[in-house]
A and B are shown apart, each in its own frame.
Chain A
């Protein structure tokens, strides 16, 4: 169990204790802020304006970057007022490109999307993580493809289209891109170029708010689907966009193989709960008891009271906020399920307090 000459620690524990990685990171960071042995960081080498409220950032990652598949997203961490905040963004570039590219549209009240659009300059360093996500092409390419994009939901689809091009796709693909007005079309020139060079792709821009001549207007409906993709039977569908469109699409396309990626703003997944009174949350590591309402996520409610547990995506993906619940029940906000009363690990960014809680925080 113990190895000589270490009586209480394994040699490995001792090595960890010496923090070799932290030291290396520190001095590498002093040399060049992009260098690190623990964190994937990227330098912003170009910024392109897509629309009035969306920008594309071209990123040069460091040696820890492991690559990605078209359609995947990365966590992007920025520091805002001294605080690290993480959000996920789809990569809009193609895996074979020399540099990475994310396209970020400003969201109303979105902390990070606004920060990136307003404050990020060429030469800045962004902390990114590993790419992940299931919104990718299957190994065997389907004969027919339908892409439904809404707003900034075009970014992963753009990457997938580029991938299809690289793979010499020989089937048939249709892209229906729902967007508020012509001026809101993101990555338009690039999409048009792909369409021009490839027989298999047809693109339709559908304006939902500001109609314009030469463009169809409206929202996603059965009629629009029938109009552009009459032969839906054997089509594989990729949907990416805001949640109302998502829900609509899923109901219209029942029975078809649909892959969807939902873009959520933090806090959007909360069912509107109103509660009376408060419940006690006992934080067992800091020996504090605080009262929360149990209306929003535990993370939100703790932060409101000046307690900042570790967190990342705030939407249940990254597991940074996982913490052991020793007692009490919570509701999982992503599916509305109520948990057991006993000990278990919970993600406090997507859990709402249901009863008095005891958390290892």
Chain B
């Protein structure tokens, strides 16, 4: 695998893992009231934006309040899916012992069933991050993102299929769920019926979602129902585009690496940390932006510590970055525009056969020793020049 990080030997990897572990321990020991207050605030925001959004859509007579209502509803759905749902389902708030924020009881506003999602995301994706054929999220089975995947003519269509997926992302996620569950059932146990059962779970969730957004709430608006249907459709669309963008930036940017099953055989925890680092990429932005991405802007931290309350990633990030710099590991981050651009560069490049793809992607930079070595004592830099000759020579 091509990499722009320094190759580490065994001891270095283990030392790296130790530092990451102690960082985790330190931050986890601080988890408490502050985090509980945060998630309750998020929950409140989700409830209020939904009520306000739906209210405005219902009682709007002119386009401005309709647009405002639709936007509020989109925000509500985004918060529900990202900062609330995604994080709660990771068990980040299980310690609160509150059924509202418990990964066992939580269900979210999206056609994907939470239980199925937990299997393919929490377990499959987070354990086998970016491992081809094991991480079913890698390209979602139809996007070719590395030369390790064999090119087929059908890949030429992937820019279009991806645009389609972006608009219907929740459906992609939902349909992905039962398929992964089926594919991961041992061959001997797989029967036609098991597939049907898995599918029924998905359909069950679709039904309640559809009834809610496209029958119940429109019906409540009486003759005004087309407006409510439109508002809900738009809100779902906006949420879909946003989550697609954020999630694709997490693992498919230019410098995010992929792995093979042979590479990860017998992996230690430290090696696992390293793989999470190499396979993930971050987004820079403001605190509001972080919250709206459900802190998936901190994909690297999230992948190393999936069950740490997400807001903590903000304080973890700079320190993890330091550790990475110390070990010469590339810490993949950039602005949303830059990262999303590079995702699309990759989607388009690998839709073509290798010789074209490689040309578009260019050679990956080699690892370069940083010009300032961080571990050197700082007085060498900060001492005034006259004294330097006296004290050091």
Give chain A's interface residues, CB within 8 Å of chain B: 6-9, 13-14, 17-18, 22-23, 26-27, 79, 81-85, 285-287, 306-311, 361
A17 touches B107 (CB 8 A): yes
B208 touches A82 (CB 8 A): no
B94 touches A287 (CB 8 A): no
Contacts of A22 on B, CB cut-off 8 Å?
A: 100
| CA of A82 to CA of B102, assembled, Å | 13
Contacts of A8 on B, CB cut-off 8 Å?
A: 200, 203-204, 207
A82 touches B37 (CB 8 A): yes
| CA of A291 to CA of B325, assembled, Å | 34
Contacts of A83 on B, CB cut-off 8 Å?
A: 32, 36, 95-97
A31 → chain B, closest Cβ, in Å? 13
Contacts of B216 on A, CB cut-off 8 Å?
A: 18
Does any Cβ of A come within 8 Å of B123's Cβ?
Answer: yes
B36 touches A285 (CB 8 A): no
Instruction: Name A361's closest neighbour in chain B (CB-CB).
Output: B104
| CA of A311 to CA of B99, assembled, Å | 10
Which B residues from 82 to 123 make CB contacts under 8 A with A? 91, 94-100, 102-104, 107, 118-119, 122-123
A286 touches B95 (CB 8 A): no
A79 touches B123 (CB 8 A): no
Contacts of A310 on B, CB cut-off 8 Å?
A: 97, 99, 102, 104
Does any Cβ of A come within 8 Å of B354's Cβ?
Answer: no
B94's partner among A6, A18, A23, A308 (CB-CB below 8 A) is A308
A81 touches B122 (CB 8 A): no
A286 touches B91 (CB 8 A): yes
Does any Cβ of A come within 8 Å of B28's Cβ?
Answer: yes
**Interchain residue pairs with CB less than 8 A apart (14):** A6-B207, A6-B211, A8-B203, A9-B208, A14-B208, A23-B47, A82-B32, A285-B104, A286-B118, A286-B122, A287-B122, A306-B95, A308-B96, A310-B99
Q: Is the interface of A mostly helix, strand, loop or mixed?
A: loop
Most A C-beta atoms less than 10 A away, residue of B34, B103, B104, B200: B104
Contacts of A6 on B, CB cut-off 8 Å?
A: 207, 211
Instruction: Name A19's closest neighbour in chain B (CB-CB).
Output: B107
Contacts of B95 on A, CB cut-off 8 Å?
A: 82-83, 306, 308
Given A8-B200, A9-B207, A14-B211: A84 touches B122 (CB 8 Å cut-off) = no
A81 touches B97 (CB 8 A): no
Contacts of B94 on A, CB cut-off 8 Å?
A: 307-309
B97's partner among A9, A17, A286, A311 (CB-CB below 8 A) is A311
B126 → chain A, closest Cβ, in Å? 9
Instruction: Name A17's closest neighbour in chain B (CB-CB).
Output: B208
A140 → chain B, closest Cβ, in Å? 42
B123 touches A81 (CB 8 A): no
A82 touches B36 (CB 8 A): yes
Count of chain B residues with Cβ under 8 Å from any Cβ of A? 37
Instruction: Name B107's closest neighbour in chain A (CB-CB).
Output: A17
| CA of A85 to CA of B96, assembled, Å | 9
A186 → chain B, closest Cβ, in Å? 29
B203 → chain A, closest Cβ, in Å? 5
Query: 6 closest pairs, A vs B, by CB?
Result: A82-B36, A308-B95, A287-B123, A81-B32, A82-B33, A84-B97
Given A22-B100, A308-B95: A285 touches B37 (CB 8 Å cut-off) = no
Contacts of A18 on B, CB cut-off 8 Å?
A: 212, 216
Contacts of A308 on B, CB cut-off 8 Å?
A: 94-97
Apart from A9-B208, A18-B212, A83-B32, list 4 A-B contacts with CB within 8 A.
A7-B203, A7-B207, A9-B207, A82-B95
B96's partner among A7, A82, A287, A307 (CB-CB below 8 A) is A82
What are the interface flags for B21-54 relative to A under an 8 Å C-beta threshold, 1 for contact and 0 otherwise?
0000000100111111100000110010000000
B152 → chain A, closest Cβ, in Å? 32
A9 touches B204 (CB 8 A): yes
B35 touches A82 (CB 8 A): yes
| CA of A313 to CA of B184, assembled, Å | 38
Does any Cβ of A come within 8 Å of B291's Cβ?
Answer: no
What are the interface flags for B150-189 relative to A under an 8 Å C-beta threshold, 1 for contact and 0 otherwise?
0000000000000000000000000000000000000000
| CA of A306 to CA of B107, assembled, Å | 23
Contacts of A23 on B, CB cut-off 8 Å?
A: 47
Given A14-B211, A82-B35, A306-B28: A285 touches B118 (CB 8 Å cut-off) = yes
Contacts of A9 on B, CB cut-off 8 Å?
A: 204, 207-208
Contacts of A14 on B, CB cut-off 8 Å?
A: 207-208, 211
A84 touches B96 (CB 8 A): yes
Contacts of B32 on A, CB cut-off 8 Å?
A: 81-83
| CA of A286 to CA of B47, assembled, Å | 28
Contacts of A85 on B, CB cut-off 8 Å?
A: 97
Contacts of A286 on B, CB cut-off 8 Å?
A: 91, 103, 118, 122-123
Contacts of B307 on A, CB cut-off 8 Å?
A: 306
Does any Cβ of A come within 8 Å of B271's Cβ?
Answer: no
A26's partner among B35, B47, B96 (CB-CB below 8 A) is B47
A332 → chain B, closest Cβ, in Å? 23
| CA of A306 to CA of B24, assembled, Å | 12
A255 → chain B, closest Cβ, in Å? 43
